[in-house]
Structure 1
Amino acid sequence: MSRPPFSPTEARAARLRVGMSPDQVVAAMAQLGMDRPPEAVHAWESGTVAPSEIELFALADALWCPVQALMARVPSTLREHRLARQFTADRLAQRIGMDPYDYARAEAEHRWFGNDRQTLMLADALGMRVDDLLGLVERGAELVSLLHEAVEGRWKSYVAPLAELARADDRAVAQALRTLHREYSLFNERYMGHLVARSGDVRLKEIAVERARWLRDLPERFRLMAAHGG
């Protein structure tokens, strides 16, 4: 799973607001059962690495601030709403009576597979109206579909609709799509190159798996790139 959205700037600002040193932050996190060295706080605040989900939760508690403040964004996906409520995927799946694999698949594919009871319980757990929850998932599925079409075809025609869905600047979206389209094209070039060269099935399968992983992470990468100007 990719690292959660995280703002190094907001993390440092939150720490300074409560007057804590990195040593004090890790001491507070240790009391919450999360042992990390002070170097971890420096790495997070410098943007060298982002915390994992459980590290993000512990950091927010240690700094006495909402997780959403450290994410520095309004939740726009099922995963982001879950993170803002400090649920791990397994814990939320257990709470709504859903198989963890099915719930994880719903987040990854931006589709909802739950029954009526699970939908009601999910909306309650996330503090949302059912209509808003279903609308969120529907918009996520539309964004994924448009992104796939954009990287596979003429990306320029998808700038406006994707900018509207992601609530991002057109220029930032255009820059993100240009980069992502180029990356996807390289996958196809590599695959066709190995196919023409009659490379072994193992190598072709490796490229296909790598491309599938890239496509799975595409929505989150796009959102981050669009939010930060590509």
Structure 2
Amino acid sequence: MRRPSVPPPPSTPPTPPFDAPAARRLRLALQMGPEHVAYGMQVSYGLPYITSDHVIAWERGITAPGKNELTALAGVLWCAPYELIGRPRTLREHRAARGLSAEDVARAVGLELLVYVRMEESGEWRGTERQSAVLAEVLELSLADLTTLTGLDGRLAGLLRGAVTTRWQAYVRPVNKMVPLNRRLLESTLQELHRYYQRQLAATRTWGAGGSATVEASRAGRDFLDRIVEHFWARLGSGNPDNTL
């Protein structure tokens, strides 16, 4: 007996990533309260259900406005809709930023729709190397975005911490295997990150224990290690040979 086929999940319009801090900043610049924003969306854009609670929830990142709500909110705040769209972080947000449906992406990378949707929901991309390459092309992902979406940030952070705290030369090959880059560019980047961290470390030794300058240098060093992946991509993107990170 033939088993009935399972229908694919309904496709929902993707929602662009919402920049909550930008919405609050723009509202305050106009000296408007949440109730004024809600009233403007009700009267000028025909959204009678919008209340100040909606506006507050959007600004706190609890919920995000839908497409029509985003357009109305931008109108009330006298800005373009793109000014309220944040940088995509998740697979779903990257897809939304490109205006693609789940079916579009699943078909392009060669996955069943249900399998792809589950990856979006779990936040774990488990495609093959070839599928990852197609995904990067379809969603116009940077190497940094692809590394994050494929779950390699943690491993990359471990390698980079090793490079800045010990001999950076030993980490060129493993880092390059994970993120294919021009070798000379990678070497100069790792060397610069290593120098920066070692200067922070030397400062704590020079100033001695207990002083405020020592504490500040130590805190800066810890923060640098915590955000090492961010510094790595920023340094690669700057193309700047100086010591500023």
Shorter-chain TM-score: what band?
A: 0.3 to 0.5
